[in-house]
Structure 1
Amino acid sequence: MAITSANQLELLQTAEAVAREKMIEPELVIEAMEDSLARAAKSRYGAEMDIRVAIDRKTGNATFTRVRTVVDEEELENYQAQFTADQAKPYFELSKNASSYWTRDGARLDDFAGGPQLGDVFEEQVPPVDLGRIAAQSAKQVILQRVREAERDRQYEEFKDRAGTIINGLVKREEYGNIIVDIGRGEAILRRNEKIGRESYRPGDRIRCYVKDVRRETRGPQIFLSRTDPQFMAELFKMEVPEIYDGIIEIKAVARDPGSRAKIGVISYDNSIDPVGACVGMRGSRVQAVVGELQGEKIDIIPWSEDQATFLVNALQPAEVSKVVFDEDAPRIEVVVPDEQLSLAIGRRGQNVRLASQLTGLDIDILTEEEESKRRQAEFNERTQLFMDKLDLDEFFAQLLVAEGFTNLQEVAYVDQDELLSIDGVDEATAEELQARARDVLEAANKAALENARALGVEDSLVEFEGLTPQMIEALAKDGIKTLEDFATCADWELAGGWTTVDGQRVKDEGLLEPFDISLEDAQTMVMTARVMLGWVDPTELEADADGEGEGDEGETEEAGV
């Protein structure tokens, strides 16, 4: 098939028809045609030649051009598409012909003084190829491939910005429990684990979903939908509540047990607007519209608060909370409820406390008032017995210390003496005697711990390391950490402990030094100090990193302030 004047315009007509059908730019189809014709020409003239084809956008005339570039002699690899300046000289004057010309830096060359230079390009027209059956079929495949790629790129560009929004579609078919959804200019997949409960759909059913992710893959853009994602509910509220869409009310947190129950934390930036009432709507019209879309999922709308304790009390509704106790090290929080409120606070199969935990981002322990009272009494008795045994005090005086807030021997030994003197019945001599006894006990314990650690093989490099107490060194030695090198190889969480998420549940990792109230930051500082002392880390690099983090934090703070 030769490209004659009879079918030149047909090229443009075909390009426009394909572009309309695939909803892509005609220019992309013409470029695909140019590429396919160039490949066909190479099969005729030689695969190593640089053959390019240009189709006139008005007439459809296809021009075949052979391109050769001037390169350095050492870089000459392809003799059919490259030549040296000396080899190019005979062709330099040929640019006067209409069928050939030189270009330099992309512009047609008119001044030929000085001869050819590196990077100059010589272009000369070659006769159009006569496409045989095989070449025509190959050209067709190239065009189809390029059109498919353009179509995929168009779909990806169209839907990539739709991630995080709600989309409407029609159920097309079901494959192994997954729903294929027609979303207009493409298809999306709703996996079976992203459906609410036991939802079932038939072809042709309308469906509303949350666009969870859009990925670019070789087979085309993959659009993943969800109806269980917490943000699906947030987006539904945004559609139903104008105040949320306008930014007057903000959804701060969402927790869902899809198809059963959900909790949503909201805050209003206008004191005259109640965030909960606005989300509920007149006679519950707004929230019921969301509930209907979520297959009857019960929704608790909770006022959000910056104070974690207040927000948690709200999150545990409808249960009443007597007291909230934070554990700063965990992060864990204890909630005390009346005995009759325990089942309500926990909820059916732990649902209420689980959703409250997801909403606040805290691990929650629910205790009844009776359980909390027993625990506090047990702690009181334990500390009383400690002071009785270690300081040789009678029960009354030991209880007096505990009642004043003293929890261990270190506090008694090193507290400012005025705090002891503020206790009724304690004079200066008694305070001095108490502190002397406490220090003697601690020194004896330190000596015993250090002797035990040395018996386990601890080296002086670890004993002399600043920041580790004898009891810490003993604990490390029992776990096989006996040298400064051993200590330097530890991770901060191995020392201070931490939390790991396993199957969606937070699991506690016990740290070697966690019983001594070592924070994660303190552990990290000690480990890095040990590495610097051993020469493993350059201290100047640490200072540079610290400066960089400081600048970044300052920028983040300013941005947050805005």
Structure 2
Amino acid sequence: DSSIDPVGACVGMRGSRVQAVVGELQGEKIDIIPWSPSAASFIVNALQPAEVAKVVLDEDAERIEVVVPDDQLSLAIGRRGQNVRLASQLTGWDIDILTEAEESERRQKEFVERSTLFMEALDVDEMVGQVLASEGFTSVEEVAYVDSGEIASIDGFDEDTASEIQTRAREYLEKIEAEHDAKRKALGVKDELREIPGITTAMMVTLGEDGVKTIEDFAGYAADDLIGWKERKDGETKVYPGVLASHGVSRADAEQMVLAARLKAGWISEDELAAEAASADEAVGA
């Protein structure tokens, strides 16, 4: 009922309801937090009374970055980290808290790193590298395959400049691909792994370093092995990184990769897969 204030209803007139519960719990402090279907809003509510300036969510990893004004950091974290720890426990998300100054410093560091990457990969001067970084390009791949008009439209650039930059970007990527391919061959990783949709040569190198060389080897993975998993114990969350965590693989992608490998390895058949899907649909319908 939108006309009812849930927090006020729990607190009661002059705090009578909540104080009665506090009394029963021998003075235990109680925070009453409005629930929200939006993870960001729920987490912001859970961190009150600290003010939040900005949030950035990573839904696949269930991690949120919260940016607070510099003078709100200690309030958001709480004594000995109690406030952020309870908020994380309540919401089920890992919470990283940064001040606005720390976020600004990190953004500047990322800008310098991207500028340097473009300077080295594209063999351009510092000004061009900084312009590409300031225009929002984050990787050489993005520069190589974006519509050339986006680069040509940058102030001071033209079509010839865009064409030259993209040519250099593609040549760089081809060089890196060749290096990865040579490394994965040296590790004994078979060509057949390319048959798994989504697998790149860079991933094949990482898999080879983990001892995986064939489709059958890959089929032995679970999705958690690829993207990582979390375990919560005694109110603390421990994160275990997956084999392909550094490659930005989502859980849905990981599940599809493992499924494709098991199909190709003959561990399951298309008919069995269809039967499982039908059974799941029936269960949902019921």
Structure 2 residue 96 is matched with structure 1 residue 337: no
Task: Kindly indicate which of the two structures has a greater share of residues assigned to strand.
Answer: 1
- 1:128-527 alignment runs, 5 A limit: 269-271=1-3, 273-527=4-258
Structure 1 508/530 Cα, relative in aligned 2: closer, same or farther at 3 Å? same
- SS at 2:98's partner residue? strand
- SS at 1:302's partner residue? coil
* Partners of 1:496 and 1:511 within 8 A in 2: yes
- SS at 1:299's partner residue? coil
What do the CA deviations read for 1:191-218 (whole angstroms, capped 9, x no partner)? xxxxxxxxxxxxxxxxxxxxxxxxxxxx
- SS at 1:298's partner residue? coil
Letter in 2 for 1:328: E
- SS at 2:32's partner residue? strand
Runs of at least 4 residues off by over 6 Å:
none
* Partners of 1:384 and 1:398 within 8 A in 2: yes
User: Which deviates the most, 377-386 or 538-547?
Assistant: 538-547
Structure 1 544/302 Cα, relative in aligned 2: closer, same or farther at 3 Å? same
Q: Give, in whole Å, the separation in 2 of the partners of 1:323 and 1:466.
A: 36
Q: Give, in whole Å, the separation in 1 of the partners of 2:259 and 2:195.
A: 16
Structure 1 395/552 Cα, relative in aligned 2: closer, same or farther at 3 Å? farther
Structure 1 535/447 Cα, relative in aligned 2: closer, same or farther at 3 Å? same
- 1:85-100 alignment runs, 5 A limit: none
Structure 1 549/416 Cα, relative in aligned 2: closer, same or farther at 3 Å? farther
Letter in 2 for 1:318: P
TM-fit CA distance, 1:550: 3.8
TM-fit CA distance, 1:377: 1.0
TM-fit CA distance, 1:463: 4.4
* Partners of 2:215 and 2:264 within 8 A in 1: no
Report which of the two structures shows the higher radius of gyration computed on alpha carbons.
1
* Partners of 1:319 and 1:341 within 8 A in 2: yes
Q: Give, in whole Å, the separation in 1 of the partners of 2:58 and 2:167.
A: 31
What do the CA deviations read for 1:460-504 (whole angstroms, capped 9, x no partner)? 322454421111111111111111221111122111222223444
Structure 2 residue 255 is matched with structure 1 residue 540: no
Letter in 2 for 1:326: L
What do the CA deviations read for 1:479-537 (whole angstroms, capped 9, x no partner)? 11111221111122111222223444221111111111111221121122111112111
Structure 1 351/332 Cα, relative in aligned 2: closer, same or farther at 3 Å? same
Structure 1 472/278 Cα, relative in aligned 2: closer, same or farther at 3 Å? same
Letter in 2 for 1:389: E
Q: Give, in whole Å, the separation in 2 of the partners of 1:480 and 1:446.
A: 20
Structure 1 447/469 Cα, relative in aligned 2: closer, same or farther at 3 Å? same
The number of aligned residues is 286
Larger RCO (alpha carbons 8 Å, 6+ apart)? 2
TM-fit CA distance, 1:552: 4.1
What do the CA deviations read for 1:129-164 (whole angstroms, capped 9, x no partner)? xxxxxxxxxxxxxxxxxxxxxxxxxxxxxxxxxxxx
* Partners of 1:497 and 1:520 within 8 A in 2: no
- SS at 1:509's partner residue? strand
Letter in 1 for 2:2: D
The alignment's TM-score, normalised by the length of structure 1, stands at 0.49
- Which runs of no fewer than 5 residues in structure 2 stay unpaired? none
- SS at 1:542's partner residue? helix
TM-fit CA distance, 1:420: 2.3
- SS at 1:473's partner residue? helix
Instruction: Report the aligned-residue RMSD.
Output: 1.8
* Partners of 1:321 and 1:336 within 8 A in 2: yes
Q: Give, in whole Å, the separation in 2 of the partners of 1:284 and 1:465.
A: 60
TM-fit CA distance, 1:551: 4.6
Letter in 2 for 1:542: L
* Partners of 1:485 and 1:534 within 8 A in 2: yes
Q: Give, in whole Å, the separation in 1 of the partners of 2:162 and 2:78.
A: 51
Q: Give, in whole Å, the separation in 1 of the partners of 2:252 and 2:168.
A: 33
TM-fit CA distance, 1:440: 0.9
The alignment's TM-score, normalised by the length of structure 2, stands at 0.93
TM-fit CA distance, 1:459: 2.1
Structure 1 396/329 Cα, relative in aligned 2: closer, same or farther at 3 Å? farther
* Partners of 2:7 and 2:32 within 8 A in 1: yes
- Which runs of no fewer than 5 residues in structure 1 stay unpaired? 1-268, 557-562
Task: Kindly indicate which of the two structures has a greater share of residues assigned to helix.
Answer: 2
Q: Percent identity?
A: 60
